């Protein structure tokens, strides 16, 4: 039976991540990535009054009204600081706001997305590895390094070709730090460490190759 060596404590920040079973692709097209973003937003709240499947069938105007009501009257169980969706794995940097909030969020996200993909691809069974990994952030330095690690994933994994593509990678929070398009993430905490967006970008992009041997995050492994 699996058990978690690192307890998840309310009020603390964690880097959580998980990979698909057998490293199979889990995001196959724009629609599947978009579905994942919708699930992230929906399940960041404590017990929305509708199941996601019911919400997703609402007309566009009703969906927008539901989300606006959730934003005003709902209660967040996590504060998402950064994320990245990769072809066969996911990364989140988040603070737990409610007891068991991170575990509920990860469980709901993974289970809901697995059901979606299974239906779309006529597959059965689990999609993600049995237990997501969680690493507690213990210092401000570690926080900004892990944020950089997450945002550079598409580049250092060769999903995209160069740094110019990084700001256009839609399935990461990185573009949100330059141009806000949604309320999906909270950029304030990370942004406080940098005097400007230019400084944040310089920190993220300088020494891209350094990420592969960065001591601060060398323990972050799926193995």
* Structural domain boundaries in the chain: 13-217
What is residue 48's three-state secondary structure?
A: coil
User: How would you class 105 by CB atoms within 10 Å of its CB: exposed for 0-12, middle for 13-18, buried for 19 or more?
Assistant: buried
Per-residue pLDDT of the chain (223 residues; tens, 9 = 90+): 456 677 899 999 999 999 999 889 999 999 999 999 999 999 999 999 999 999 999 999 999 999 999 999 999 999 999 999 999 999 999 999 999 999 999 999 999 999 999 999 999 889 998 889 999 999 999 999 999 999 999 988 889 988 889 999 999 999 999 998 888 999 999 999 999 999 999 999 986 766 655 544 554 544 4
Phi, then psi, of 210 in degrees rounded to 5: -60, -25
Q: pLDDT tens across 79-129, in order? A: 999 999 999 999 999 999 999 999 999 999 999 999 999 999 999 889 998
Give the chain's mean pLDDT.
Answer: 90
Find out whether 172 and 86 touch, Cβ atoms under 8 Å. no
User: How would you class 191 by CB atoms within 10 Å of its CB: exposed for 0-12, middle for 13-18, buried for 19 or more?
Assistant: middle
As its CATH architecture, domain 13-217 has: 2-Layer Sandwich (3.30)
User: Is the CA virtual torsion 22, 40, 36, 203 positive or negative?
Assistant: negative
Q: Which two tokens stand for residue 169?
A: 């990678």
Model's pTM, two decimal places?
Answer: 0.90
Q: b/e map of 17-43 (b: 16 or more CB within 10 Å)?
A: bbbbeeeeebbeeeebbebbebbbbbb
Plot region of 31 (φ>0 → left; ψ -120 to 50 → alpha; else → beta): alpha
């Amino acid at each position: 039976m699996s058990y978690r060596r690192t307890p998840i404590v309310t009020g603390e920040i964690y880097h959580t991540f998980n990979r698909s079973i057998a490293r199979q692709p889990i995001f196959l097209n724009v629609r599947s990535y978009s579905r994942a973003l919708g699930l992230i937003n929906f399940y960041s709240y404590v017990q929305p009054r509708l199941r996601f499947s019911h919400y997703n069938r609402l007309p566009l105007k009703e969906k927008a009204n539901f989300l606006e009501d959730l934003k005003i009257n709902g209660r967040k169980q996590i504060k998402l600081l950064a994320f990245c969706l990769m072809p066969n794995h996911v990364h989140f940097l988040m603070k737990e706001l409610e007891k068991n909030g991170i575990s509920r969020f990860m469980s709901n996200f993974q289970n809901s997305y697995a059901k979606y993909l299974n239906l779309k691809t006529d597959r059965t069974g689990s999609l993600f590895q049995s237990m997501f990994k969680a690493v507690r952030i213990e210092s401000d330095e570690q926080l900004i390094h892990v944020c950089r690690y997450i945002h550079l994933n598409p580049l250092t994994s060769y999903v995209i070709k160069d740094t110019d593509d990084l700001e256009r990678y839609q399935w990461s929070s990185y573009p949100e730090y330059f141009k806000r398009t949604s309320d999906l993430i909270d950029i304030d905490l990370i942004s406080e460490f940098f005097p400007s967006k230019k400084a944040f970008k310089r920190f993220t992009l300088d020494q891209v190759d350094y990420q592969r041997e960065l001591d601060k995050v060398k323990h972050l492994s799926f193995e």
